[in-house]
Structure 1
Amino acid sequence: MARERDGPASRRSFLTAVGATSVVAVAGCLGEEGPGDGEEVVVTQGEFAPNADPNADNATPTYNVLDQVYEPIFDITADGEIEPHVVEDWEFPDDNSVELSVREDVVFHEGQEMTASDVAYTINRQVQEDVGIASPQVDGLAGIQGAEAEDETTVIVEHDVSPSLAEFGLGVFGRVVNEEWMEEREQPVTDEMNGTGPYQVEEFNPGDETAEYTVFEDYWGETPGIERVRFQAIDESSTRVGELQTGESDLIVNVPPTDVETIDTEDGIEIRNVTSFRNIFLVMTNDEAPFDSLEFRQAMNYAVDNQGIIDSILGGFGEPMTQPVPEGIFGYNPDLEPYGHDPEQAEELIEESGYEDEEITLYHPEGRYLNDTEIAETAAEQIDELDNVDCSSEIEPFDSLVEMILDGDPSTSPDFFLIGWGNPTYDSNYGLNPWFVEGQASYNFIDDEIEEMILESQTIEDEDEREEFLQEVNAELREASPWVFLHLQESIYGVRDDLEWEPRSDESIYVDQMGL
């Protein structure tokens, strides 16, 4: 029982809304190849997976590494629709539960049969700390209270949010693990994998940031056309480009705009790009001065020349943001305008805030997002050009930064940092709940009224009413300025030109959907 939205903001029609007609995932391109008929594909990202546990981290590069092995409860298609996967059917018997019917022909790579108990355990180990781990993915499972296996193939999931939120949360974050296998190991699991997916792991080396996979011969679904897969991480963009040019990589992420023309004119490789759902922004944690001042936070938005950064550093690859969620996401407010670049207004607001001559530091990762270092350095320089504030920038390794900001405690986060946030659920809740509701892993902005509005939005069942209410929440957040709103990132990939694959707005990379 798949759920769809009606109206202009429907998930079915979001491609039209963002003008991303090239997002649709390649279907039926795998041919009839079986194991041994295809060849190796090497995918190079800027970041790798810190461990081998599919429920222990919340970052797209991690998912791309582990999603070759671990499978979701539901599929979320490239156009935002839900389709059956290891759960083949589901229904909502009442307002607070969903009944899942589990496939009977799914086996784990070590030979165990997947049962309803494994699916229930997967959900519970994320939302109930006494069952499994303190998973940052709980942000996306808002309102999911727990699950119970009624028999070998039936799972009842309890929730207290609208049915669509429950459904999409399970679809995006329900990567199924084997209960008995997990319980026998220290959690989170660091260097072993036992999934049900189309590929099984041969080598996993987080220290070297490499992973090797081969086709799983007992896979319940269609056999992939690519026999071997290698994922690796190289944070330096020029090195990734070099890997593509020499044929050592078949697909690389985050190609700098300055290299787009070069790659597109070389034989055998090309650029493929799509507007992603990744919002790039500067977080201003408001638990202490100077970012506890609304005027100071708004001043930072006026100080940064966002459009100038898009034009100069990103080569025009990007769209300015006006709110925490991008166009095409359910609840996006189309009536909001970006902050303009106005240094004089910024200086006046700083004077009003009472925090003149503050010294602030902008922390940022290097190599995680498209030209992230240049963006952060430029934003810091523009703020520093104001007469009444000093600003510098400092690199913080991505893993370290994530560890600080995903513990649910604003006091442990840097006061000012650059980060990106994708939205695989196609719903505003995932752009709001993790950041603005106490108890969520990404909680870094304290505002009781906004928090109450977000929680109320989760329980509204009428989709039109909920959409309108979410638009009000996004308007409130634009005014509150919890972030310096920067841009929607363009995903720019360098690709071997005979590789059958198209990029998705959610940045997911599924090798079993590729062909040669």
Structure 2
Amino acid sequence: MKRICMGLATAIAVATAVSSVPAAFAATPKDQLVIGTSLAQVLSVDPQQGTEEKTQQILANAYDRLVYNDDQDQNTIKPQLAESWEVGDKAITFHLRDAKFASGNPVTAGDVVFSLVRLMKLSQAASGYFKSAGYTADNIESKVRAVDERTFQIDLTDDVVPEDLLYRLAMGVSCIVDSAEVKKHVNADDYGNEWLRTHTAGSGPYKLRSWTPNGMVILEANEEYWGEKPAMRRIIMRHAPESQTARLMLEHGDIDIADAMTAPDIMSFVGKDGFTIEKTKIGGFYALAMNAGEEPLSNPLVRQAIAYGIDYDGIAKTILGPYGRPRNVPVPEDWKGAIANPDWSFQPEKAKELLAKAGYPDGFSLTIKTIAQPPRVDMATAIQATLDQIGIKVSINQGSGAEIVADHRARKFDLLLPQASAVMPNALGAMNDFVTNPDNSKEANNAGSMVWRSAWDIPEINALRDETSRERDDGKRVALIKEIQEKFIAESPAVLPMFERFSPVVMTGRIDGYKGNIWSLTRFEQITKKD
């Protein structure tokens, strides 16, 4: 596979962009953290709406959840707004700490109720994680309650075990919003969504000062924060979609952290004095979504042929590097209950045989859609090249996060490159995005389900997922997890996991205390900066 070298004109543009950086960024202040990243997917900072990776990083710092998942400590659930909790047979009861929102309003159990009801009533993609656990817009108000100002209770459903509910409550979609502040901005029963798309109303260590789409996000320290005052009084996230630009900015000291560079640019910092590389295990996957609602992708043999028509090892070595490793089963290979990988290596002759058997000996043409950022653009180019070898002509359609995500949710694609995340840091959580589709009809409009977006009808697999989610016996649960994976492979999935994801970042040696997070909920309150 050939890599495309940067042309002279592009190189000059990069140099000009770096040299024209405002003087204020020439040497980052000790009390400001400057991050070079891609903001292309940040479409909304409403915590009950935005689920994209960089959105989660913003939400993690502007909001608190009841609890958080410490993936630095074996994925242990730890207190955040809840100081303690008790798990009963029918419900979990949380006792809240004394805390205030950035507005100065006290955090109450009523705010927790409001936030979870709001999540389900908005019924955005973010609510899918709770829908799969048995909570709905119709039943949520009967499942959550404020026992008193500082005591919150949520009923367990028959669809989820307590541990898995706690993990869901640790997710970004479970951020607690300031109900009094949000209610001031309700417009036509939108639950304050129009306002919260561009504002924050949380109790986290920071609050949103400004956000320019595809430009810059500025977070400022929240003076009302209940925890230890963060050393960084300001967090600046700068849109730096060009990897070489971000690399030069990092080398010149214009930014402290770069987290959206290509693998070669990241690897250029290996062993370089004054820089460190951190790689966080995500538990999710880079996937290939195929629209099974349309021919020829409705044919399982065609989907299987495509699975044999991708050079996973080549893409991993030349493109992904620290970003991922080949894996076609939607459970990380080192997690409990994971099965062995199928033999879906690049086998063009076998792929051609499958296409002929499916009735397409001469192949056909498709379009692959992808967000225009690394490493997915290079992945699309590589997939285009290898599928061409089996007779499938692929054109590439790049777009912004808003465009591609909208098309994905509307089933307007042939092939598409999404990222899947682990709902929970266990096998069932890793599989969730690949095996959840309770109703495949268009009328269901379950855009929160990646499987629904691919129009892949999997009633048997979904039923097994439901059964596993309810099973409290560990041995039986592991057996069911393995059965789901085996059936998933046998069905020639329309949402094909290709690579287990990792999240690499490069930072200057000045940064201390950075801890990545499995769900991109990286908090910056513990970060300090050396002189």
- Shorter-chain TM range is 0.7 to 0.9
Matches within 5 A, 1:314-329: 314-315=320-321, 318-329=324-335
- Judge conservation of contact 2:111–2:176 (CA < 8 Å) in 1: yes
Matches within 5 A, 1:54-453: 54-78=47-71, 79-95=74-90, 97-103=91-97, 105-127=98-120, 129=121, 133-141=122-130, 142-143=132-133, 145=135, 146=140, 147-160=144-157, 161-172=160-171, 173-185=173-185, 186=187, 187-188=192-193, 189-201=196-208, 203-264=209-270, 266-315=272-321, 318-329=324-335, 331=337, 333-356=338-361, 357-367=363-373, 370-387=374-391, 389-406=392-409, 412-423=411-422, 425-435=424-434, 436-437=436-437, 438=439, 440=446, 441-442=448-449, 443=452, 444=454, 445-453=456-464
Matches of 1:51 and 1:204 in 2, distance apart?
Answer: 13
Q: TM-score, normalization: structure 1?
A: 0.85
Q: Does 1:486 align with 2:498?
A: yes
Shift of 1:465: 1.6
Superimposed CA distance per residue, residues 461-487 of structure 1 (whole angstroms, 9 cap, x where no aligned partner) = 122321221121112112223234321
Superimposed CA distance per residue, residues 399-441 of structure 1 (whole angstroms, 9 cap, x where no aligned partner) = 22222334xx6xx241211111122521334444444313541
- Judge conservation of contact 1:139–1:430 (CA < 8 Å) in 2: no
Q: Partner of 2:39 in structure 1?
A: 47
Matches of 2:423 and 2:34 in 1, distance apart?
Answer: 24
Tell me: CA distance 1:261–1:336, structure 2 relative to 1, closer, same or farther (3 Å).
closer
- Judge conservation of contact 1:336–1:475 (CA < 8 Å) in 2: no
Shift of 1:276: 3.3
Higher mean displacement: 457-466 or 310-319: 310-319
Matches of 1:330 and 1:118 in 2, distance apart?
Answer: 36
What SS does structure 2 have at the residue aligned with 1:313? helix
Shift of 1:328: 4.4
**Gap runs ≥5 in structure 2:** 1-28
The aligned amino acid for 1:447 is I
Tell me: CA distance 1:180–1:505, structure 2 relative to 1, closer, same or farther (3 Å).
closer
Tell me: CA distance 1:316–1:158, structure 2 relative to 1, closer, same or farther (3 Å).
closer
Tell me: CA distance 1:330–1:223, structure 2 relative to 1, closer, same or farther (3 Å).
farther
Tell me: CA distance 1:515–1:430, structure 2 relative to 1, closer, same or farther (3 Å).
same
What SS does structure 1 have at the residue aligned with 2:253? coil
Matches of 1:234 and 1:469 in 2, distance apart?
Answer: 44
Shift of 1:289: 1.1
What SS does structure 1 have at the residue aligned with 2:396? strand
- Judge conservation of contact 1:44–1:249 (CA < 8 Å) in 2: yes
Q: Say which structure is richer in helix.
A: 2
The aligned amino acid for 2:469 is Q
What SS does structure 2 have at the residue aligned with 1:400? helix
Q: TM-score, normalization: structure 2?
A: 0.82
Q: Partner of 1:473 in structure 2?
A: 484
Matches of 2:526 and 2:426 in 1, distance apart?
Answer: 25
Residue 454 of structure 1, aligned match among 460, 465, 476: 465
Q: Partner of 1:503 in structure 2?
A: 516
Q: Partner of 1:16 in structure 2?
A: none
Matches of 1:94 and 1:315 in 2, distance apart?
Answer: 46
- Judge conservation of contact 2:96–2:151 (CA < 8 Å) in 1: yes
Q: Partner of 1:24 in structure 2?
A: none
Aligned-pair identity (%) = 21
Higher mean displacement: 436-445 or 248-257: 436-445
Tell me: CA distance 1:288–1:365, structure 2 relative to 1, closer, same or farther (3 Å).
same
- Judge conservation of contact 1:320–1:338 (CA < 8 Å) in 2: no
**Gap runs ≥5 in structure 1:** 1-36
What SS does structure 2 have at the residue aligned with 1:193? coil
